[in-house]
């Protein structure tokens, strides 16, 4: 009984904190959308397109992993993307970084955002974590990013944000609860997904601080090449390297290369360049429900009651973190 009372108290506290700012943000967003200027349509259309494209990445992983091991799959994907970007950069005369420090910063982001993040997600799904649940765990990224921007970018982290972080962590724990009994595979998969969240959060902040002005063609080429070499080392060390080149695998690989790595990643870096890190990170919470909707008819995945409750807690946590910063964000960042 006391546990139920405690849960209700936490939920009531979270709603009291988050709801007014959330309603205000929805009102301001609707006002901007209905002004219907090209700049506003782009400002809101690009994030929406990014969420949809990014959500399909979890589906592509689920579709392709039965035919190749995770690191092998990613190494092929990353080398393909790097080759395409190198050709396009050469044809267009795009500028390459002119010093080793910039190249090192760009490569570091590639290792975090592509190597650690996608490596963790693919590894987690290959060990039994569903596409929907892996997306939901990654939905913790907005909270983690908001907490990290304080010490890294010198922005204050308020008490409300710490409350949001705790609530969100409880939510992810509920989502992961179904895997606790399987210590050898799926729990390890959950851990890999959590590591992936950390990689993406650190990578997004690192990109914002050190690589925001990189050339998107050449910079992305360096990032994918660094991640490809990282995945190749893992594949050589721990995997067989066998690939079953079925039509389904080729489709998944092509989709992930063109739509995700070239399309969605370009949108992500444009958004990071134009908006605050916490605003961009908040988009990742919209990925779980979209992924779940896509995975339901394709793979028959369903959400358990604990997963639904966990998702609700993650929503509350993100509202507490994100909207506590909404006034500062509106003052510092405007549409690109």
What pLDDT was estimated at residue 179?
Answer: 60
Q: For 148-196, what is each residue's pLDDT tens digit?
A: 766 666 666 677 777 877 787 777 677 667 665 555 567 888 899 989 9
Q: For 42-80, what is each residue's pLDDT tens digit?
A: 555 777 788 788 888 888 998 999 999 999 999 999 999
Cα gap 62→44, rounded to integer Å = 29
Q: Report yes or no: 121 and 196 within 8 Å, Cβ to Cβ.
A: yes
DSSP string, 235-281: HHHH----B---HHHHHHHHHIIIIIIIIIHHHHHHHHHHS-HHHHH
Cα gap 153→205, rounded to integer Å = 8
Q: Report yes or no: 63 and 107 within 8 Å, Cβ to Cβ.
A: no
Report which of residues 313 and 8 the model is more confident about: 313
Instruction: Round the CA-based radius of gyration of the chain to a whole number and report it.
Output: 20
What pLDDT was estimated at residue 120?
Answer: 94
Residues 6+ apart with CB under 8 A from 163: 13, 14, 17, 320
Cα gap 126→118, rounded to integer Å = 12
258 has pLDDT over 60: yes
What pLDDT was estimated at residue 23?
Answer: 46
What pLDDT was estimated at residue 187?
Answer: 83
To the nearest 10 degrees (0 to 180), the angle between helices 131-138 and 186-210 is 40
Backbone torsions φ then ψ of 157, nearest 5 degrees: -110, 120
Mean pLDDT for the chain?
A: 77
Nearest by Cα to 187 from 171, 204, 170, 175: 175
Report which of residues 25 and 227 the model is more confident about: 227
Residues 6+ apart with CB under 8 A from 98: none
Q: Where are the chain's structural domains?
A: 2-22+60-329
Q: Report yes or no: 307 and 133 within 8 Å, Cβ to Cβ.
A: yes
Q: What dihedral angle (degrees, nearest 10) is formed by the CA atoms of 44, 45, 46, 48?
A: 90
Cα gap 1→179, rounded to integer Å = 26
Specify whether the backbone of 244 is left (phi greater than 0), alpha (psi in -120 to 50) or beta. beta
What pLDDT was estimated at residue 294?
Answer: 74
What pLDDT was estimated at residue 241?
Answer: 93
Least confident of 107-111, 114-118, 236-240, 299-303: 299-303
What pLDDT was estimated at residue 59?
Answer: 84
Nearest by Cα to 283 from 58, 54, 61, 60: 54
Residue with token string 């393909």: 80
Cα gap 104→272, rounded to integer Å = 19
334 has pLDDT over 50: no
Percent of the chain with pLDDT over 90: 34
Report which of residues 72 and 305 the model is more confident about: 72
What pLDDT was estimated at residue 131?
Answer: 76
Residue with token string 């998944």: 252
What number of CA atoms fall less than 13 Å from residue 139's CA on the CB side?
Answer: 37
């Amino acid at each position: 009984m006391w546990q139920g009372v405690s849960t209700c108290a936490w939920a009531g506290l979270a709603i009291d904190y988050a709801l007014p700012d959330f309603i205000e943000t929805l009102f301001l967003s609707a006002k901007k959308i209905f002004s219907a200027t090209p700049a506003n349509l782009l400002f809101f259309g690009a994030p929406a397109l990014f969420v949809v494209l990014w959500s399909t990445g979890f589906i592509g992983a689920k579709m392709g992993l039965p035919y190749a091991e995770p690191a092998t799959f990613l190494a092929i994907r990353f080398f393909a993307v790097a080759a395409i970007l190198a050709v396009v950069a050469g044809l267009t005369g795009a500028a390459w970084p002119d010093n080793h420090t910039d190249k090192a910063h760009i490569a570091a982001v590639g290792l975090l955002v592509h190597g650690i993040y996608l490596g963790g997600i693919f590894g987690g799904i290959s060990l039994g974590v569903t596409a929907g649940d892996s997306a939901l765990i990654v939905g913790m990224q907005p909270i983690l990013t908001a907490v990290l921007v304080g010490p890294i970018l010198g922005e204050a982290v308020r008490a409300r944000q710490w409350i949001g972080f705790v609530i969100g962590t409880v939510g992810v724990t509920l989502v992961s609860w179904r895997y606790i009994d399987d210590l050898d595979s799926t729990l390890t998969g959950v851990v890999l997904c959590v590591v992936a969240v950390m990689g993406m959060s650190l990578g997004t902040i690192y990109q914002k601080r050190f690589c925001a002005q990189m050339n998107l063609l050449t910079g992305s080429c360096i990032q994918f090449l660094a991640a490809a070499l990282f995945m190749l080392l893992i594949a050589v060390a721990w995997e067989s390297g066998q690939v079953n080149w079925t039509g389904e695998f080729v489709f998944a690989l092509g989709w992930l290369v063109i739509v995700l790595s070239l399309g969605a990643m370009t949108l992500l870096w444009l958004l990071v360049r134009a908006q605050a890190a916490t605003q961009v990170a908040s988009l990742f919470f919209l990925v779980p429900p979209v992924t779940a909707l896509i995975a339901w008819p394709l793979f028959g995945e369903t959400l358990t009651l604990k997963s639904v409750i966990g998702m609700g807690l993650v929503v509350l946590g993100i509202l507490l973190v994100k909207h506590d910063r909404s006034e500062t964000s509106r003052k510092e960042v405007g549409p690109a």
